[in-house]
């Protein structure tokens, strides 16, 4: 899992909180509940990952009915029709919606798996696409967070709909993409099995290990070990490149092409490895964490 880091994050959060209010069906709430929600609305929509549990518990403490919250914040066939998150996520919505948020975030690779692109394309005359928005705290159980900014995680359809699906997440059980980086807790490692590892994928294994339980839950629930086993071809290429691009050869390439083909050594290493090699850039291209971790182990970096 790669942390979502944006320079203009605060501005996006504020804009989201202002615009998304239009989708809330306040009429679905009793008067007492309506007063509570309106009084705490900014806090609800902007609540940080560290405070999600507090919002949930406070709503329970104030006896805010979950079924009415679903009709106010979620919508859908059984919850009041086209309102709430249902309307916000619709492509047909012409005002601020999920496409607008996805464009502003510009998260182009799934932060959960770092395997699939999640580009946003919105075109009136052509097909449109955007990342799914995973509800970190699922909207059926915690409808009060259905439109909360930090509970909407841009992700690929495989991670959101196929792998996570209805699995219960919380900040006490799983790492949160806006809060922490998976890169701080787990590393891909190369395990040599046979002397044929230089040319045969069966000669080695890829392992993804962590001592952090919340990171392990991410690995398990998104089947990351199983999925990354399918990318042994990438690792095999890195093993071979490590033999070709030794330190002296890299120095020679820099001497010949710095300032023409490469701005710096990082540019050269990105060309050689086919992945971003800086921790701050791992979100820019699929498989960059795998490539960086294995390249470091092979002393390519």
- pLDDT tens digits, residue range 261-282? 999 999 999 999 999 989 999 9
Average pLDDT of the residues in 281-301: 95
Task: Please write the tens of the pLDDT for every residue from 16-37.
Answer: 999 999 999 999 999 999 999 9
User: For 54, phi and psi rounded to 5 degrees?
Assistant: -65, -40
pLDDT at 123: 77
The average pLDDT across 188-206 equals 94
Predicted confidence at residue 92, as pLDDT, reads 73
Q: Please give the share of the chain, as a percent, with pLDDT higher than 70.
A: 99
Percent of the chain past pLDDT 90, that is, above it, reads: 86
| 296 has a pLDDT exceeding 90 | yes
**Rounded Cα gap, residues 59 and 169, in angstroms:** 19
Residue 271 CA to residue 261 CA, distance in Å, equals: 10
Domain residue spans of the chain:
9-164, 182-297
HEC string of 139-168 equals CCCCHHHCCCHHHEEEECHHHHHHHHCCCC
d(CA 209, CA 203): 20
List pLDDT tens digits, range 99-133.
999 999 999 999 999 999 999 998 766 678 999 99
**Position with higher pLDDT, 57 vs 125:** 57
pLDDT higher than 90, residue 134 = yes
Average pLDDT over residues 199-216: 95
Mean pLDDT across the chain, nearest whole number? 93
Can you read off the two tokens belonging to residue 85? 């998150």
pLDDT value, residue 229: 96
- What pLDDT score was predicted for residue 191? 94
For the entire predicted model, the pTM comes to 0.92
Beta bridge partners of 153: 134
Residue 81, phi-psi category: left (phi > 0), alpha (psi -120 to 50), beta (remainder) = left
């Amino acid at each position: 899992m790669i942390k979502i880091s944006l320079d203009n994050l605060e501005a996006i959060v504020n804009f989201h909180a202002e615009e998304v209010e239009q989708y809330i069906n306040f009429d679905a709430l009793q008067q007492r509940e309506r007063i509570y929600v309106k009084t705490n609305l900014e806090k609800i929509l902007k609540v940080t990952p560290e405070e999600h549990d507090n919002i949930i518990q406070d709503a329970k403490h104030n006896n805010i009915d979950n079924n009415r919250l679903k009709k106010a914040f979620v919508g859908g066939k059984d919850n009041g029709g086209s309102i709430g998150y249902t309307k916000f996520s619709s492509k047909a919505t012409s005002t601020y919606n999920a496409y607008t948020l996805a464009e502003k975030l510009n998260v182009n690779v799934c932060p959960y798996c770092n395997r699939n692109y999640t580009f946003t394309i919105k075109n009136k005359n052509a097909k449109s696409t955007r990342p799914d928005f995973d509800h970190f705290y699922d909207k059926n159980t915690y409808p009060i967070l259905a439109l909360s900014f930090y509970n909407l995680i841009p992700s690929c359809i495989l991670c959101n709909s196929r792998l996570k699906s209805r699995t219960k997440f919380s900040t006490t059980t799983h790492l949160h993409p806006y809060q922490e980086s998976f890169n701080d807790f787990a590393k891909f490692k190369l395990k040599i099995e046979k002397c044929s590892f230089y040319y045969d994928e069966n000669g080695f294994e890829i392992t993804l290990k962590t001592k952090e339980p919340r990171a392990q839950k991410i690995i398990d629930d998104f089947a990351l070990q199983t999925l990354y086993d399918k990318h042994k071809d990438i690792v095999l290429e890195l093993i071979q490149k490590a033999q070709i691009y030794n330190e002296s050869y890299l120095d020679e390439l820099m001497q010949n092409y710095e300032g023409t083909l490469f701005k710096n050594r990082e540019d050269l290493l990105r060309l050689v490895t086919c992945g971003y090699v800086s921790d701050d850039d791992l979100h820019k291209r699929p498989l960059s964490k795998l490539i960086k971790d294995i390249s470091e182990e092979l002393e390519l970096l």
